[in-house]
Structure 1
């Protein structure tokens, strides 16, 4: 069961989703810029839970080459750096709404010409359907209501090229609600799902393939 602060947190973002997608994006950008006033506010580079989640995510990927990879909600590029080491031949794009976070992400990998970082909002971003692998982790619950989750599912599915793979990672059992529209999307099929129930925060890694 989620704690009271977490429930209030979710309620706040559901209320924000009453705004237009553009208005919601402005608020989210300011919110995350505020959070990133100090480096690594969620300790993504040092927390054992986060490192376990990164390893578990990679373990669930289908074994195949990935030439073009996108990470949605990349923050300061901690997992992006792991992807760059895991797939040294891939072109990797990290996307986030916070320019302050992206500045730190770029400084983390200043010489990696095949890795780029782009400020964009998943609800409004337009990109070519060219990616072999797309990650969306700990992001969807910020979008709020069902219509925004449906829109995000459409956007994520459009990023995938033929045979592309989408990986969604979110808290369990909240992932059931957050992944609902991905499960129902006509252009996606669920390949695998693994739930990690160990404390402090259970999570699910759900893998989809482009139809």
Structure 2
């Protein structure tokens, strides 16, 4: 059996990790805290703090100008990516909640990136299927309802340029994906992970970041 090299993530170690990542700027920090207080019952939907710098790093790494996000919540991940975009970059953010994204809009405005974010309030599949049906997306971030991950994946992969990235969150789903008897969202993510692994249009790695992050690179199909 394979043995993990992952240390136990204690509060002290987690604080150490955050201290050795790029720090959140004041708008990001305020947004994290506001989400925890105003939406305490739903705060778990917020992208983990260490994922903000990671997403920004990936945007810069691929020189992204066109980004799509599926599942925006209060806007932390979108803010992190928009900050990393060039002035003429665009991020299409898909969500269904006016209440949550009102907080996001305010944060984007404060950060001076509101002009880079195109928020679309509608079922994400409708939004994705209305996008140009050609390879033009540089990077996408998937963090929405798990049952629809395969459908979102298909719409994103076909529109991602060769070398572009698709990043999916919660791909360990609280560790429950290792259980063959998993049900509900955990079973959906387990099936999604198999789908990604077997998709010959991409190469992908599943990382033990936060609740699991899969990073897939679109291959050139010739």
Q: TM-score band (shorter)?
A: 0.5 to 0.7
Deviations 1:122-158 (A, max 9, x none): 3333112421000012x242x2xxxx44323212213
The 5 Å alignment of 1:170-189 reads: 170-172=170-172, 173=175, 174=177, 175-189=189-203
Structure with larger Rg: 2
| 3-state secondary structure, aligned to 1:51 | coil
Count how many residue pairs are aligned between Structure 1 and Structure 2.
161
Is 1:194 aligned to 2:207, yes or no? yes
Greater percentage in helix: 2
Which consecutive segments of 4 or more residues in structure 1 shift more than 4 A? 56-62
The whole-number CA distance in structure 2 between the counterparts of 1:206 and 1:97 is 24
Give the C-alpha shift of residue 101 in structure 1.
2.1
The whole-number CA distance in structure 2 between the counterparts of 1:82 and 1:140 is 21
Q: 1:187 to 1:122 in 2, by over 3 A?
A: farther
Residue 157 of structure 2 corresponds to which residue in structure 1? 157
The whole-number CA distance in structure 2 between the counterparts of 1:168 and 1:179 is 10
CA RMSD of aligned residues (A): 3.1
Greater percentage in strand: 1
Residue 83 of structure 1 corresponds to which residue in structure 2? 81
- Structure 2 length normalisation: TM-score? 0.60
Question: Is 1:97–1:119's contact at 8 Å kept on the other side of the alignment?
Answer: yes
Residue 96 of structure 2 corresponds to which residue in structure 1? 97
Is 1:204 aligned to 2:220, yes or no? no
Deviates more, 1:67-76 or 1:167-176: 167-176
Unpaired segments of 5 or more residues in structure 1?
A: 1-35, 197-201
Deviates more, 1:92-101 or 1:148-157: 148-157
The whole-number CA distance in structure 1 between the counterparts of 2:68 and 2:53 is 17
The whole-number CA distance in structure 2 between the counterparts of 1:123 and 1:71 is 12
Unpaired segments of 5 or more residues in structure 2?
A: 1-34, 178-188
| 3-state secondary structure, aligned to 2:61 | coil
The whole-number CA distance in structure 2 between the counterparts of 1:75 and 1:63 is 25
- Structure 1 length normalisation: TM-score? 0.62
